[in-house]
Amino acid sequence: MMRYGLSFSSFLAIAFLIWIGAGPVLASENPKADAKAAFDAGDFKTAAEILSRLASQGDQAAQYNLAMLYLEGKGVPKDDAMAASLFEDSARQGNPGAALDLGILFRNGQGIRKDLERAYMWLQMAMIQLTGRDRSTAARYSKEIAKSLSSDQMQAAQDMIENCRDVGVEYCD
């Protein structure tokens, strides 16, 4: 039967195309798994869309992973400032990998104003939780930065670290 100029099979085909096209927009039972599957399949745009929704809800792992996509320009335009902002959001929720990467960005002035004191602070905060190669990386950068800080700068960095430990990483600065 044809109504409005469409056969039933045409209607079903259009409905199916609309449904699959709207897939990333629809809520999923497990959006984190969907984001990982999209990433693993090389569909970085879909992964970024899903991670963006999760990150806006405060998911620290999504913030971290989305930051990596912005840093590398995968699925989103390369944007070091957005990556730094997302790393900071994630680091303030206790993600040590994000603290490590944020420290490196502060060290390099990449996407954020170069600030060796803050770089040192974030790297030290990362080292508290990191193990293995990531901890070694944070330690190496920390030692390098420490050599270039004046005694006043080192004291300011140590004060920031102490403050972080006292009030929590959420309020580090």
Q: Could you count the other beta carbons within 10 Å of the beta carbon of residue 90?
A: 27
For residues 54-64, average pLDDT: 97
* Crossing angle of the two packed helices 116-129 and 96-108, in degrees rounded to 10: 160
Angle at 50 between CA 44 and CA 55, to 5 degrees: 110
| Confidence band, pLDDT 50/70/90 cuts, at residue 3 | very low
pLDDT at 18 over 80: no
